[in-house]
Amino acid sequence: MKHKTKTILRICAGTLAAALIGGCLYLNTLMPIITGYAAKNLASAVFVSGRDAAEVEALDLHFSFIKFTSNTVDMEKKTVTSRFLWSKSVAAYREGYGVTLLRGKKADELQAEAYPIPLPEPIPERLLPGDEALAARLEPIAEALVDRKAYNGTPFAFVVLHEGKIVAERYREGMGKDTRLLSWSMAKSFTNALVGIMAKDGMLDIYAPMAIPEWQADGRKAITLNDMMQMQSGLHWNEDYGNRSDVNLMLHSEQDMGLYAQSQPLEYEPGTHWYYSSGNTNVVMRYLRGLFSSDEAFLSYIQERLFAPLGIWNACFEPDMSGTPVGSSYLYATARDYARFGQLFLDDGLVGEERILPEGWVAYTRTPASCSEGRYGAFFWLNQALTLPDIPADTFSCQGHDGQEIFIIPSKDLVVVILGYSPKPDHVIDFNGVVKDIIEQL
C-alpha cells in the first residue's frame, strides 16, 4: 500500500512539474507580446499624442497581463521600457517616424537613423465652420458622447462634417484639434488610398498577380492586390487577438511585419473565402514599398501624393523595424485629419477640382467582396447588410478595434469621426445610436 502511495505521489509530482515547466515555457512565448504591447502603445501615446503616462496606463493598458507591466518612460531618450517578470521590451520615438518597437536593435542605433525627408511645414486650415443652427443642434450629442453621459465607451475626439464643413467638434479633457490619435485599423483604409493613387499613376494593376518571388512555387502566385484588399487572399491567418494569435505575433515580435504575413501558407483558393486579416494589409504595404528605390522615395510619395493634398501635415505612419509603415494599424493623425480623409472618399476622390484617387476608385472601394455578405469592400467596411440598423445602407467606414471610426454617408453628405477607447464588449461605443441621432438633426 505504501509503495502504491509513493508511486502515485511521484506521478502527481512529475505531472505537476511538467505542467509548471510547460506553463512557464508558454508564458515565455507571450512575454514579447505583453511587454511589447505596453512599450509600443505607451510610447506612442506619450511622445506622439502628448498624453500623460499615468492616464494611459490606467486606461489604455489596464487589461489582461498588460496591466501588470512595469513601465519606465525616459523623456530625455524618448523611450519606454516595459517589464513583466523576466522579460522586457523597449520602444523608441523618432521625429517624423513616430514610435517603433525595438526588435534586433538598440534605441540609440535606431534613433541615429534620421527621418529621410524634410518634415512638412504646417498647412493652413482648410476646414471651415458649417451651418450654425445645425451646430447648435448637434452640441448636446457631442457633449453627451465625449463627456460620457450617453453612448458608452471612452471617446477621445468627435468631429462631424456636413457638406464638407465642421458642424460638431469636441475633445476629451487634455486633448484638442492638434492631438494626434491612434488609428488602429483605420490605417487599412489609408493603405487603400495609397494603392488607388499608385494605380492612377500607372504603377500597379490591382487585378494582376502580385508576383512576390516567394509565392511563385505554389498557389499563392495567383493572389492579386484585389484579393488582399477585399480580405480574400486565402492566406492562413488568426486575427482573434488572443495570446499567440498571428496578429499579436506580427505586431509585437516581428522585425518585418509584412514578411511575416507574406510567409503564411495558402489555406483557401484566392478570392473564394473572406477573412479579416491585418496581415493582408501589411503584405500590401510591403509590396508598395518594394515599388520604390528607397524609404526616402516611398515616404516622400506618401507625403506629397496623399497627405499634402488633403491638408494633413503632421501625421505619423509609424514603421516596423524594416522601415515599412505598418499599414494595418499604426497611423497617428488628428481627428480633423481623419475627417479630411473621410471627405476625400465622400467627394469621390476629389479635393476641390483636383483628382487624388482615380475615377471609379470609390465605387470599387464600396463594392462588396464576393464572400463578405455585404459587410466589406476594399479595406473599408460596408453597411449594406445593415449591421448598424439605424443608419443608411450606403454608409461605408474605416474602423479601428478600440473604438475608432470614420463614417462616410453619401446620402446625407456626412462624415462622422469618433475616436475613442472601447476595449471590452460591454464598453463599446454605441456608434449606431450616435450616428442615428446626428442624422435626425440634419
CB 234 within 8 A of CB 222: no
Burial of 361 (0-12, 13-18, 19+ CB in 10 A): buried
What phi and psi values does residue 427 have, to the nearest 5 degrees?
-120, 10
Domain contains 121: no
The pLDDT of residue 17 is above 50:
no
Buried b (16+ CB within 10 A) or exposed e, 74-89: eeeebbbbbbbeebbb
Supply the pLDDT for residue 244: 76
The reported pLDDT for the residue numbered 24 is: 44
Q: Please report the pLDDT score of residue 201 as a whole number.
A: 98
Q: What is the DSSP letter of 303?
A: I
Position 14 pLDDT exceeds 60: no
Statement to judge: residues 141 and 104 lie in one domain:
no
Looking at the fold, whether 216 and 298 belong to one and the same domain comes out as yes
Q: Identify how many contiguous H helices and E strands the chain contains and give both numbers.
A: 14, 15
Residues 119/95, Cβ–Cβ less than 8 Å:
yes
My answer on whether 282 and 154 are in the same domain is yes
207 and 299 share a domain?
yes
**In sequence order, what are the beta bridge partners of 376?**
381
Is residue 120, in this structure, part of any structural domain at all? no
Do 156 and 227 belong to one domain?
yes
Number of domains in the chain: 2
Domain boundary among 54, 80, 111: 111
Note whether residue 411 is domain-resident: yes
Binned at pLDDT 50, 70 and 90, residue 26 comes out as: low
pLDDT at residue 18, as a whole number? 41
**Rounded mean pLDDT of the chain?**
93
> What is the tens place of the pLDDT at every residue in 174-231?
999 999 999 999 999 999 999 999 999 999 999 999 999 999 999 999 999 999 999 9
Q: Is 205 found in the same domain as 291?
A: yes
What are the pLDDT digits (tens) for 392-441?
Answer: 999 999 999 889 999 999 999 999 999 998 777 678 999 999 999 999 99
Cα gap 281→298, rounded to integer Å: 16
Note the pLDDT tens digit of each residue in 272-311.
999 999 999 999 999 999 999 999 999 999 999 999 999 9
State the CATH number of the domain containing residue 287: 3.40.710.10
Q: Is residue 119 part of a domain?
A: no
Q: What does the pLDDT average to over 378-385?
A: 97
Output helix, strand, coil percentages for the chain, rounded to the nearest 5: 40, 20, 40
Q: Please name which of 201, 197, 223 lies closest in space to residue 212, comparing C-alpha atoms.
A: 223
* Residues 193, 86 share a domain: no
Q: What is d(CA 361, CA 354) in angstroms, rounded to the nearest whole number?
A: 15
- Examine residue 17 and state whether it is found in any structural domain, yes or no: yes
DSSP string, 258-277: HHHHHTSPB-S-TTS-----
The predicted structure's pLDDT at residue 3:
59
Q: Give the position of cell 501624393.
A: 305
Give the N- to C-terminal CA distance of the chain in Å, as an integer: 84
Q: What is the CA radius of gyration of the chain?
A: 23
Task: Please check whether residue 376 lies inside any domain of the structure.
Answer: yes
The C-alpha cell that represents 304 in the structure block: 506629397
Q: So what's the pLDDT on residue 22? A: 41
> Which residues have CB under 8 Å from 176's CB, separation 6+?
none
Q: What's the confidence (pLDDT) of residue 28?
A: 58
Sheet holding 331-333, edge to edge: 181-182, 331-333, 316-317
Q: Which of 65, 80, 111 is the last residue of a domain?
A: 111
Predicted confidence band at 2 (pLDDT cuts at 50, 70, 90)? Answer: low
* pLDDT tens, position by position, 259-282: 999 999 999 999 999 999 999 999
Q: Per the domain annotation, does 126 fall within a domain?
A: no
Asked whether residue 348 falls in the same domain as residue 255, the answer is: yes
Residue 55 CB contacts under 8 Å (≥ 6 apart), including other chains: 174
User: Distance between CA 34 and CA 63 in Å, rounded?
Assistant: 11
What residues make up the domain containing 425?
A: 132-440
Among the ranges given (50-54, 150-154, 338-342), the one the predictor scored with the smallest mean pLDDT: 150-154
- pLDDT reported for residue 401: 87
Shared-domain flag, residues 172 and 73 = no
Q: Which of 14-18, 178-182, 272-276, 326-330 has the lowest mean pLDDT?
A: 14-18
Same domain for 233 and 310? yes
Residue 230 lies in a domain: yes
Same domain assignment for residues 298 and 156: yes
97 and 143 fall within a common domain: no
